[in-house]
A and B are shown apart, each in its own frame.
Chain A
């Protein structure tokens, strides 16, 4: 039986981890490769690296970061940020990413999903959906949450699966960073509407929240700040998941 995954997320800008890090000496607190290696040692099932750099230098730095992280871990690596076309996706995959995460670029040009899936396989194409509640449903946001589209989150997930995506990363934008727990209704809707695996994101404060998300239908849970801040470790969280009846990798 497929195990439930715990995926630490590294938000990276210009080669440094930028989110949720408590500044306890600047030495290596924000080095993505150090962080990734430490999470992998503590039982992370996968690492997601989200590069939010926006400078002209960003592409080269991003590839350097991906290479440095790859060097240190022997678990899967997903990279998002800056995937615009076949060339940028190929560069990331050849540098050490196992999957690329597409967000705004897929909304702007849905055919890109199909093209990438044909070139690299569905398992290498992950669709990141940032969703914000609008009444009784959720709308898709793009450009790091700054633009609200007309797309319904569930419909968009279904469409991405049809286009060839192999996995969905579902972030509840209203919950991100709030530590109030995952958006369970959104997770239930999307994960029951698609056949591809769904990774829940946004709002995790503890293992209890993760168990809720997994029970709601998620196949994996993503968290950033609770791991960055050293509040808990992946090991500790997985131990609690196990006690909560979830099958996780030992």
Chain B
């Protein structure tokens, strides 16, 4: 996060998400877009959406490494249901206002992905999630092209 602030990338990211510019944030990328994380106490995130990331508790395996079921709400256009590959120790438990979400389960339900227009954040790795992930990236790319043309 420090490196992002130093280079001024944090404000650029916050602005492009606010403007709905095509953005795909993966894993740590999604966490950086939130408000803060237990991983770095006292450090403020990009805050492109309002949400705090907390470490998995309970008796589950940590890190949460492997394939897990992703389920979306009917409103998502880019996120879809299927098996995604995760590699994370921290997660978001609630959906910020104004976003559509995908969910997964590990130490209870957590947010597997967020979507608003052509802005998508995934806790899993679409680039490592086989055909399921490739299809997501393709849908995002198409949405991004439409968005860019409309600008």
Is B53 part of the contact surface with A, judged by Cβ < 8 Å? no
Contacting residue for A197 out of B28, B63, B69, B127, CB 8 A: B63
Interface of A is mostly: loop
Bound-complex Cα distance A85 to B89 (A)? 24
Q: Which residues of B contact A167 (CB under 8 A)?
A: 63, 65
Q: How far is the CB of A96 from chain B (nearest CB, A)?
A: 11
Bound-complex Cα distance A75 to B127 (A)? 8
Contacting residue for B62 out of A40, A45, A76, A196, CB 8 A: A196
Q: Which residues of A contact B141 (CB under 8 A)?
A: none
Contacting residue for A5 out of B28, B67, B130, B134, CB 8 A: B67
Q: Are A75 and B128 in contact (CB under 8 A)?
A: yes
Q: How far is the CB of A219 from chain B (nearest CB, A)?
A: 6
Q: Are B128 and A2 in contact (CB under 8 A)?
A: no
Q: Are A74 and B130 in contact (CB under 8 A)?
A: yes
Q: Are B61 and A250 in contact (CB under 8 A)?
A: no
Bound-complex Cα distance A123 to B64 (A)? 9
Is A249 part of the contact surface with B, judged by Cβ < 8 Å? yes
Q: Which residues of B contact A40 (CB under 8 A)?
A: 130
Interface of B is mostly: mixed
Q: How far is the CB of A127 from chain B (nearest CB, A)?
A: 13
Number of residues from A at the complex interface, CB < 8 A = 23
Considering only residues 39-92 of chain B, those with a C-beta below 8 Å from chain A are: 60-69, 83, 85, 87-89
Q: Are B128 and A122 in contact (CB under 8 A)?
A: no
Q: How far is the CB of A186 from chain B (nearest CB, A)?
A: 18
If A1-B105, A76-B125, A219-B66 are given as contacts, then 20 extra A-B residue pairs at C-beta distance below 8 Å, sorted by A number, are: A2-B64, A3-B66, A3-B68, A5-B66, A5-B67, A40-B130, A74-B128, A75-B128, A76-B85, A76-B87, A98-B87, A166-B89, A196-B62, A196-B65, A197-B61, A197-B65, A219-B61, A220-B66, A249-B67, A250-B83
Interface residues of A (CB under 8 A from B): 1-3, 5, 40, 45, 74-76, 98, 121-124, 166-167, 195-197, 219-220, 249-250
Interface residues of B (CB under 8 A from A): 28, 60-69, 83, 85, 87-89, 105-106, 125, 127-131, 133-134
